[in-house]
């Protein structure tokens, strides 16, 4: 006698399971979610009057980011020299050869090795970004340009230098451009959307649990 699945009642559970697995492999299942559109963008179009730059700034600041606009690299150098002592950062932590060249050019103090936390209550790291995503206010960074993964995961304050031509509409555009770089110049790509945050046992938000407490973008318009 067979049960409703067509299995012999005298067979063991193991044999029944194996029979079901064989049938699952042989029988072609009905296509699920076959009407889903995987091509159309689900994001609302960016308003033409805002453009990519303004949209990024608005959404980045909504996520708690700090935004500073600068006309050129020289202004960036002067800005960093003022902000470091004002905020008690000391020498900036910089592992990116690209950024090190710029900091040397404008006589901004930096260290290559990670600062000792016993002597540096606030560690500020500076890195270049790869892209800024307007739709989400996110920053894309790679370990190839940053010089080290620790440079964007371990500091208390993360400073990111970007240029206006690095702002793109969405993640799709950024990944298409990064496709050739990944595996060659970089082994990790990270998308940063606001600072690290979590909730404690009393349901109070705590920032900087798994990463920087503050993120600032310095946008150089050149």
| Mean local confidence (pLDDT), 147-156 | 92
In the predicted structure, residue 3 carries a pLDDT above the cut 70: no
Query: How confident is the model at residue 30, as a pLDDT?
Result: 67
Q: Domain limits of the chain?
A: 1-36, 51-220
| Mean local confidence (pLDDT), 58-72 | 94
Query: How confident is the model at residue 33, as a pLDDT?
Result: 66
| Mean local confidence (pLDDT), 174-196 | 79
Q: What is the 3-state secondary structure (H, E, C) of 78-147?
A: HHHHHHHHHHCCCCEECCCHHHHHHHHHCCCCEECCCCCCCCCCCCEEEEECCEEECCCCEEEEEHHHHC
Q: What is the pLDDT of residues 100-115, one digit of tens each?
A: 999 999 999 999 998 8
Query: Whole-angstrom Cα distance, residue 122 to residue 112?
Result: 16
In the predicted structure, residue 145 carries a pLDDT above the cut 80: yes
More confident residue, 185 or 47: 47
Query: How confident is the model at residue 43, as a pLDDT?
Result: 72
More confident residue, 169 or 33: 169
Cα 211 to Cα 1, 60, 80, distances in angstroms: 63, 17, 21
Query: How confident is the model at residue 215, as a pLDDT?
Result: 95
Query: How confident is the model at residue 75, as a pLDDT?
Result: 96
How would residue 1 be classed by pLDDT, with cut points 50, 70 and 90?
Answer: very low
How would residue 10 be classed by pLDDT, with cut points 50, 70 and 90?
Answer: low
| Mean local confidence (pLDDT), 16-39 | 74
| Mean local confidence (pLDDT), 117-126 | 86
Q: What is the CATH number of domain 51-220?
A: 3.40.50.10420
In the predicted structure, residue 29 carries a pLDDT above the cut 70: no
């Amino acid at each position: 006698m067979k049960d409703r699945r067509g299995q012999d009642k005298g067979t063991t559970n193991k044999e029944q399971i194996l029979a079901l697995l064989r049938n699952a492999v042989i029988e072609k299942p009905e296509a699920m979610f076959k009407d889903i559109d995987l091509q159309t963008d689900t994001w609302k179009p960016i308003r033409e009057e805002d453009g990519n730059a303004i949209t990024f700034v608005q959404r980045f600041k909504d996520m708690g980011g700090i935004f500073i606009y600068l006309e050129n690299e020289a202004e960036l150098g002067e800005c960093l020299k003022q902000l470091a002592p004002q905020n008690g950062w000391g020498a900036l932590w910089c592992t990116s050869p690209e950024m090190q060249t710029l900091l040397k050019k404008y006589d901004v103090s930096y260290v290559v090795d990670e600062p000792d936390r016993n002597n540096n209550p606030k560690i500020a790291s500076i890195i270049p970004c790869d892209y800024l995503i307007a739709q989400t206010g996110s920053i894309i960074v790679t370990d190839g340009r940053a010089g080290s993964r620790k440079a964007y995961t371990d500091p208390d304050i993360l400073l990111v230098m970007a240029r206006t031509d690095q702002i793109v509409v969405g993640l799709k555009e950024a990944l298409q451009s990064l496709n050739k770089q990944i595996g060659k110049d970089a082994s990790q790509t990270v998308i940063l959307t606001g600072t690290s945050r979590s909730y404690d046992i009393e349901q109070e938000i705590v920032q900087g649990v798994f990463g920087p407490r503050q993120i600032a973008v310095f946008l150089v318009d050149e």
